[in-house]
Amino acid sequence: MSNSSSSLNGKTALVTGATSGIGLETAKSLAVQGATVILGVRNLDAARQFVENTRKEYPSTQFVVPKQPLDLMSQDSVRKFAEEVNKDNKELNILVNNAGVSFMKKYFTSDNVGGIAQTNYLGPYTLTRLLEKKLVSSKARVVTVASITHRTARIKDPKAFLTEWRSGFYEHSKLANVLFAYELQRRLGLHGLTSCVADPGGVRSNIFNSSPMLSKGMYKKMIDMCYSPPYDGAQSIIYAATVPWEKDRAVVDGTPVSPAQDLRYYSRGLFNHPIITRLDGVRGKSYNEDLAHKLWDVSAETAGLPANPVV
């Protein structure tokens, strides 16, 4: 488990994709540290089995298996799940947007959003926005899980990213996650919410199982040999979720940076070499503030939400 010294007793955390891989390890660690962990998952039976297995090893851990499943592919499912969470009067102190997909057949939702962009980005965006009033009142930490692959992508047009299949691949969705996390910090940091990105590095997770190329043969052997286990990959996420915010706050000329400038990307392990972390899009800069603004507004319009946060 994480060696964080912080105690999460009395805190509530929500982790999406919590029944396997990095999400499972993150949910387990937060619960062991004392948090009551809400499991945002599609398969509620798997969630109950996870709780049973974890309590055999850690009897005092506390989990909540909601009545509503969370399928990030469906905006309707996201809304129903958020409604259930919002009805609870308890604070929501930590939100970990972890669940995601990589390899899938071409698919569009009823809103004409590509399946990868919907699951990895618009679903988590919508969930966070629907919970934002509770998150702000709780002065919550929001951790959005990205990937080193975001450094190889560019989003030229936010609308195209959502609605054109080839513009919304995995790497594009992870760049969108970074843009969203930073924009969330800009817009809600002054209200006490803190938002950051966590990059788990190369991890032997279930995400490769659906790839015809990477799930077998030489590629699978390389992944099994070189990539970290989910427990190791979860460490950057656990740290990002629990580190006291002031500990890592940058100081410029003796003055701590403002919340709008306090943009954080936590990473460790494989793929964290400076040569790789200097990658910046296929042709030019992959990230800028104007793009983050536009992506936020287009996402709000697509999700039927107000552009300005409701706090």
Q: Cβ distance 212 to 159 under 8 Å?
A: no
Dihedral of alpha carbons 40, 224, 147, 139, sign: positive
Q: Which residues make beta-bridge pairs with 199?
A: 267
CA atoms of 296 and 60, how far apart (whole Å) = 40
Instruction: State the pairing for strand pair 255-256/251-252.
Output: antiparallel
- Name the residue with tokens 């306090």: 262
CA atoms of 126 and 112, how far apart (whole Å) = 16
Q: What long-range pairs does 163-172 form, CB within 8 A, spacing at least 24?
A: 163/108, 163/112, 163/113, 163/114, 164/114, 165/106, 165/108, 165/114, 167/114, 168/113, 168/114, 168/116, 168/117, 169/116, 170/101, 170/102, 170/103, 170/116, 170/120, 171/147, 172/117
Q: Cβ distance 115 to 73 under 8 Å?
A: yes
Helices (H), 147-288: 158-163, 170-188, 217-226, 230-242, 274-277
Closest CA to 32 of 62, 10, 56, 66: 62
- What is the set of active-site residues? 170
